[in-house]
Structure 1
Amino acid sequence: MTGPSPTALADGATPMISPILTTADAHDPFTYAEPEVARVTHVALDLALDFKAKRVSGSATLDILAAPGADHVILDSDGLDIASITDASGKKLAFNVGAEQAGKGAPVRITIPASNASITRKIVVTYTTRPGAEALQWLAPEQTAGGTYPYLFSQGQPTLNRTWIPTQDSPGIRQTWEARITAPEPLTVVMSGLRLSQVGEPAGPGRRAFRFAMDKPVAPYLIAIAAGDLEFRALGPRTGVWTEPSMIERSVAELADTEKMVSAAEALYGPYRWGRYDMIVLPPSFPYGGMENPTLTFLTPTFLAGDKSLNGLVAHELAHSWSGNLVTNANWSDSWINEGVTSYFENRIMEALYGRKRAMQEAALQYDGMEEAIAEYGADADITRLHLPKDADAPDGGASGIIYDKGAIFLRTMEQIVGREKFDAWLMSWFDRHAFQPATSALILADLRANLVKGDAALERKLMLDAWVYGPGVPSNVWRPDPQAFADVDAAAKAYGAEGKIDAAAWKGWTTAERLRFISRLPEKRSAPQLAQLDSALDLSNEGNNEILFAWLNLALANRYDPAVPVAEKFLAHVGRRKFVAPLFKTLMGQGDWGQPIAKRIYAETRKTYHSVTTGPVDKMVLGAN
């Protein structure tokens, strides 16, 4: 099958326009846009992919909604070579590209005719991207599973899409979009919108065109593209997976429960509103576990464990279809509204599909992640607040143990206090009330007070809402995991620490969560003979589950265990996921004269295979780059 059935969109239909928030706490300092003056509401791309030059070129036609009297609009650009900007009739518009700021790019100020009314105008930006555009990773054939054709994928979050799309690149300025993309035969193009044709249309000698549309306003970082030798396989009536042909069978087997996940999510918090839920399993250089691009979740191949033990990742990205895509943080200081809510929702999907034991174990790991972050930064540190302070509110700022884990535990604490039935009713209604809109911490707290607390002073005191969102550390009412969730595992870890006793038979019967818990509870300092015994008994160096292999390598390298070095080198050469790559290089660099030469040697070979999202933090650690 070449792909899901094309979807017809109503010709001439007026695109949905999402509101913007104008309160001070909704301001996004990481965009040059002035949405209250003039904002982008729709983006129409007509682009050609050039794999040889590693460039994208063509035009973006933007619908601009301008306030009365507005005579300019400001876009975000990072490295775009702009040839011209015109109005809909082809008349040139004056524009100026301002000074560039590191990590933010440059403002593009475009003069538009002023009007006495709020009207929508169209402007056409003709441009070319540069080969180093940070959102795009161009892979040579040898970097793919098939080894025959090149590959391209994008990663837009948090602010990288301005390197290939001239628009207002802020999560609070939601936009509808459409695209016509041409690529060399026989490559297939997929995007995070509804597919408008089954196969590519002829587009000149040796090229095909593919058309897509997103008729619902999304945060601009959710516009995503991939192109390569791709095959599609249906998983259910509205779900399916794209990947390279040699990976299709493994991917289908791992993702077999996806249709059930969608149904479970709908039963929890209301209808899935994006039409299809397809996924693409990308090459290993993809820098994240997953990216929740609407209608087409991007997934790392590192979750392919062969036993569905890591498909909590899929539940997480699916949950983003509500928390993150349906309701989006207006700026990056409130990332927890996306990630914390999603992490809680993910766990509820896992409970519905796989039972309470697995869900409670995974929730306990979230609690551990929160505690580790607070122990690292200190209970009074501002960075442990859910609403991030100014020195941590960068687009990729904060700590996952806070944004993801503390956010999830906050929701679980509320659920415990008010009861699951009442809490679920509120959360479903939150998604309904704010669908396709941005949100802030102040907005979600106001909604909680209006629709859950409802003036109950005693309940307000019990929930401690402001302490959770604006205070550091963990409030006293925190939900705590059942100490019996990992009782057997913790006992085994204690026995190992005291007596060196390893129960290999028990290990074989443990879940991934239990194995990760065991490794996390091992003594930090281990001798080479102790590590050799552990590796031999549990066969850790040959582990096929990447989460467990990563945990083992981190422990082994932290103890300067030489036999782990070739395993780590192979792992780092085949995995580009930042979650794994950055900590392992950090561990090596922390081992002084032993680890630093190893880190620098490996990074010199592997850096070219990583996406910019991964090289950014690793460059600072290994190369000392600013």
Structure 2
Amino acid sequence: MAELTQTSPSLCCCRKSLPVSGGRCVGDSTLPSAGPWPGAPPCPLVDVASASNFRCFQLRHFHLDLQLNFAAKEMTGWLVLDLVPVEPGISTLILDSHPSLLIHSIDCKIPGDEPEEPASLTYRVDPFTDYGSSLIISLPAGTVKPSRLIQITVRYTTTDGPAIWWLDSELTCGQSCPLVFTQGHSVCNRSFFPCFDTPAVKSTYTAAVRFSMEFPVPSYLVALVAGELQHVDIGPRSRVWAEPCLLSCAVKKLGGSVERWLGVAEDLFGEYLWGRCDIVFLPPSFPIVAMENPCLTFIIASILESSEFLLIDVIHEIAHGWFGNAVTNATWEEMWLSEGLATYAQRRITTEAYGEAFTCLETVVRLDALHRQLRLLGDSNPVSKLQVKFEPGVNPSTLMNLFTYEKGFCFVSYLSELSGDVRRFDSFLKDYISEFKFQSVVAQDLIAYFLRYFPELQDAAVPQREGLEFERWLSGCGPPPFEPDLSAGGALIGPVQELCDLWRSANPPDQQALATFDLSVWSTFQVVLFLDRMLDHSPLPHEVIASLSASYSSLFDSLNAEIQIRWLQMVVRNTFYPDLPRVRAFLHKHTSRMYTVPLYEDLVAGVMKCVAVEIFYQTQRRLHPNLRRTLQLILFPSSSAPTNQNSPIPPIVAGSSPSGSPLQAPATTATASAAGTTAAMALRDVNVSA
């Protein structure tokens, strides 16, 4: 039995300590909270996605000590929680857990008290939702007192939970050693370790792999990766980690850019608070594109093909260092507070680093996707709200969608417009981070601080401005009431629209007219925008798709996967058999969710299902079991294909993170339980990536 028993080298380290927030949430209803506009009542903090009694304790710190067993695909060890009760009479501790965790024992110790031996505690595990359970621990009578530190130790073993992804060697890029990583967003880390699994609670932590997180973070930002990884320093505070076969490519792609982007971000938003800004590239089985784990960002290696998408994804995760990690949404119902602000910050960074035209082009691609989603869902669908209310039992990940990113971005852009000057708004964001760093907030906190910062706007009653009311922004369905002016991107966007118009106005267009458009010198985002807009008009007349193929398919073969997948979606949606070998070759090469699911969805929706089944059986051994199950459900929806709690079929997502940066391809279902509606949506209808 192969077992990893030695201490692993630290993947990142923090350079200085900062005061612990102690789990304080700014929007906590036990604290005074100004409403977002005059007369508005405080917003009580309720996290229906957590079974824990986190409001009864201050979590000062926790420590993980785990042994990894690659042969058994288990982690065994213990968790130590440093807790301070905040009120008298607390007799139980309730932690978020998961049926995949095997609890061996739980004990309690009062530091400095006699006897020194810890007391064994009784506990039980109760059902909570389909994504977790509650671990209810009876605390010793008479010893739990307000403001008195207690240490709870939980010994446990992980099994097949949604946070932990074990990869056999053949599923890694180098195919020589196994690898394991964790993915905690949004509520998966309760299957990694028992915790207060809510973004409202932040604490420091340490781990036995010689890692120390000296800054308070919520549970979903705790992550682990172990395998045959090597690193190269690419800056004074950043290094790249990857399997040996990927390392040189990753270093070449990033070079010294990370330090440059960090410098631009610091000029805009203040000091980078996390010390290290390292990046690890993970195999194609990584279920999303990127995740902003503090000090060590996780990114799927597949994105290395596209320099522009890689740039956007890394900058988005860097932006989370301020928006999402330093200041966090207190509940998952207001995820836009992390993703909308991070998207705005990402675009401020790219504007400063690469110019306004580039940023406008990337923004148009994303806003096109937002309106594409709205056309499918309808303007009255509740998932288009920024503040999406959901009932207990609804997995927050199912409500992660483009609106979180792009409608949130538009609201932040509107606030910037109200401030009168983008530089003035930069200063506001810098001070906002300074005011709320290492805390969790609700929308009331952001808006109240904004109105205090710009009192003239409050005096002018801008929160109630007709058609642009703040309440409408937060609670209203439909498109953003305001979108920023993107005319600065006209030199890049204009030719794309002209070419689209040319292909749609003629049948097929004149070759001499086409010769004025040289796609070989276009940027990736220009070609992506062209293909996305042509996809919107598919199916096309046979003569048009044949002419498109003759004009561009050979060029697309030499370009990156972000371009290729869109062209191949056009091939499939238009049932263009001459280019079907390209679809086969692509699906044999690419085994990541973001590049397989869209094409399988399209193949099954048309007359090519038999082709999809054939390719699946030829490639399934190279697919991660979770992706294999997802594709089985697409190909054989009426069969009883086994489901796995390690792989819920992902919801509608905004192309990179959680996250991560806006998540890529895995998109199938959006749910708004509170409104009693479920809107099924395939990625083929959204054309969203990264």
Could you say which residue in structure 1 is the equivalent of 2:416? 415
Which amino acid is the alignment partner of residue 126 of structure 1? Answer: R
Mapping 1:438-477, distance limit 5 Å: 438-454=440-456, 455-462=458-465, 464-474=469-479, 476-477=481-482
C-alpha separation in 1, matches of 2:173 and 2:432: 42
Could you say which residue in structure 2 is the equivalent of 1:226? 225
Could you say which residue in structure 2 is the equivalent of 1:121? 150
Shift of residue 377 of structure 1?
Answer: 1.6
Could you say which residue in structure 1 is the equivalent of 2:399? 398
Selected match of 1:551 from 545, 558, 566? 566
C-alpha separation in 1, matches of 2:591 and 2:20: 37
TM-superposition CA deviations, 1:32-58 (whole Å, max 9, x none): 111112354422111111110011111
C-alpha separation in 2, matches of 1:228 and 1:337: 34
Mapping 1:496-507, distance limit 5 Å: 496-499=503-506, 500-501=508-509, 502-503=514-515, 506-507=518-519
Larger RCO (CA under 8 A, 6+ residues apart): 2
Q: Is the 8 A contact 1:330 1:438 kept in 2?
A: yes
TM-superposition CA deviations, 1:532-556 (whole Å, max 9, x none): 4323422265244222122222222
Q: Is the 8 A contact 2:171 2:624 kept in 1?
A: no
Question: TM-score, normalising length from structure 1?
Answer: 0.87
Could you say which residue in structure 2 is the equivalent of 1:42? 61
1:479 counterpart SS class: coil
C-alpha separation in 2, matches of 1:28 and 1:540: 50
1:387 counterpart SS class: coil
Shift of residue 73 of structure 1?
Answer: 0.7
C-alpha separation in 2, matches of 1:619 and 1:407: 34
Shift of residue 571 of structure 1?
Answer: 3.8
C-alpha separation in 1, matches of 2:629 and 2:203: 28
Could you say which residue in structure 1 is the equivalent of 2:680? none
Shift of residue 260 of structure 1?
Answer: 0.2
C-alpha separation in 2, matches of 1:467 and 1:259: 39
TM-superposition CA deviations, 1:83-106 (whole Å, max 9, x none): 111123332111111125312x21
C-alpha separation in 1, matches of 2:168 and 2:539: 42
Shift of residue 431 of structure 1?
Answer: 1.4
Question: TM-score, normalising length from structure 2?
Answer: 0.79
Could you say which residue in structure 2 is the equivalent of 1:83? 104
Q: Is the 8 A contact 2:13 2:295 kept in 1?
A: no
TM-superposition CA deviations, 1:353-387 (whole Å, max 9, x none): 11111011112223222222222222222221111
* Root-mean-square deviation (Å): 2.8
2:58 aligned with 1:59: no
Q: Is the 8 A contact 2:14 2:274 kept in 1?
A: no
Shift of residue 496 of structure 1?
Answer: 1.6
TM-superposition CA deviations, 1:509-567 (whole Å, max 9, x none): 11111111111222311255543432342226524422212222222222233355554
Q: Is the 8 A contact 2:85 2:145 kept in 1?
A: no
C-alpha separation in 2, matches of 1:549 and 1:151: 29
Shift in alpha-carbon separation, 1:28–1:564, aligned structure 2, 3 A: farther
Selected match of 1:134 from 149, 162, 185? 162
Which amino acid is the alignment partner of residue 590 of structure 1? Answer: A
Shift of residue 505 of structure 1?
Answer: 5.3
C-alpha separation in 2, matches of 1:564 and 1:262: 43
Shift of residue 582 of structure 1?
Answer: 3.5
Shift in alpha-carbon separation, 1:544–1:143, aligned structure 2, 3 A: farther
Q: Is the 8 A contact 1:590 1:596 kept in 2?
A: yes
C-alpha separation in 2, matches of 1:301 and 1:413: 35
Which amino acid is the alignment partner of residue 549 of structure 2? Answer: D
Selected match of 2:426 from 413, 424, 427? 424
2:119 counterpart SS class: coil
Mapping 1:575-586, distance limit 5 Å: 575=590, 577-586=592-601
C-alpha separation in 2, matches of 1:613 and 1:387: 31
Shift in alpha-carbon separation, 1:274–1:120, aligned structure 2, 3 A: same
Could you say which residue in structure 2 is the equivalent of 1:200? none
Selected match of 2:126 from 98, 116, 121? 98
Which amino acid is the alignment partner of residue 81 of structure 1? Answer: L
C-alpha separation in 2, matches of 1:31 and 1:623: 34
Could you say which residue in structure 2 is the equivalent of 1:111? 138
TM-superposition CA deviations, 1:472-510 (whole Å, max 9, x none): 123544334328351111001111222334448521111
2:78 aligned with 1:73: no
Could you say which residue in structure 2 is the equivalent of 1:248? 247
Shift in alpha-carbon separation, 1:236–1:450, aligned structure 2, 3 A: same
2:533 aligned with 1:534: no
Shift in alpha-carbon separation, 1:384–1:108, aligned structure 2, 3 A: same
Shift of residue 61 of structure 1?
Answer: 1.0
Instruction: Name whichever of 117-126 and 476-485 sits farther off.
Output: 476-485
2:161 counterpart SS class: coil
Instruction: Name whichever of 527-536 and 553-562 sits farther off.
Output: 527-536
Shift of residue 6 of structure 1?
Answer: 5.8
Which amino acid is the alignment partner of residue 447 of structure 1? Answer: Y
2:259 counterpart SS class: helix
Q: Is the 8 A contact 1:285 1:574 kept in 2?
A: no
Instruction: Name whichever of 227-236 and 272-281 sits farther off.
Output: 227-236
Could you say which residue in structure 2 is the equivalent of 1:324? 324
Shift in alpha-carbon separation, 1:610–1:292, aligned structure 2, 3 A: farther
Which amino acid is the alignment partner of residue 74 of structure 1? Answer: I
Q: Is the 8 A contact 1:38 1:70 kept in 2?
A: no
TM-superposition CA deviations, 1:300-323 (whole Å, max 9, x none): 112213645531111111101111
Shift of residue 590 of structure 1?
Answer: 2.2
Could you say which residue in structure 2 is the equivalent of 1:164? 192
Q: Is the 8 A contact 2:167 2:624 kept in 1?
A: no
Shift in alpha-carbon separation, 1:128–1:531, aligned structure 2, 3 A: same
Which amino acid is the alignment partner of residue 22 of structure 2? Answer: I
Instruction: Name whichever of 54-63 and 379-388 sits farther off.
Output: 379-388
1:216 counterpart SS class: strand
Which amino acid is the alignment partner of residue 540 of structure 2? Answer: R
C-alpha separation in 1, matches of 2:261 and 2:500: 33
C-alpha separation in 2, matches of 1:524 and 1:547: 18
C-alpha separation in 2, matches of 1:561 and 1:453: 60
Shift of residue 285 of structure 1?
Answer: 1.2
Could you say which residue in structure 2 is the equivalent of 1:195? none
Which amino acid is the alignment partner of residue 85 of structure 1? Answer: I
C-alpha separation in 2, matches of 1:600 and 1:25: 50
Shift in alpha-carbon separation, 1:569–1:118, aligned structure 2, 3 A: farther
Shift in alpha-carbon separation, 1:510–1:270, aligned structure 2, 3 A: same
Instruction: Name whichever of 360-369 and 283-292 sits farther off.
Output: 360-369
Runs (5+) with no aligned partner, structure 1 = 181-209
Q: Is the 8 A contact 2:85 2:148 kept in 1?
A: yes
Shift in alpha-carbon separation, 1:509–1:354, aligned structure 2, 3 A: same
2:602 aligned with 1:587: yes
Mapping 1:253-268, distance limit 5 Å: 253-256=252-255, 257-268=257-268
Instruction: Name whichever of 142-151 and 410-419 sits farther off.
Output: 410-419
C-alpha separation in 2, matches of 1:616 and 1:437: 38
C-alpha separation in 2, matches of 1:76 and 1:247: 37
Mapping 1:175-194, distance limit 5 Å: 175-180=203-208
1:397 counterpart SS class: helix
Equivalenced residues, count: 590
Shift of residue 22 of structure 1?
Answer: 3.3
Could you say which residue in structure 2 is the equivalent of 1:490? 497
Runs (5+) with no aligned partner, structure 2 = 1-8, 30-42, 110-116, 644-690
Q: Is the 8 A contact 1:369 1:405 kept in 2?
A: no
Instruction: Name whichever of 608-617 and 379-388 sits farther off.
Output: 608-617
2:532 aligned with 1:513: no
C-alpha separation in 2, matches of 1:405 and 1:151: 34
Shift of residue 127 of structure 1?
Answer: 0.8
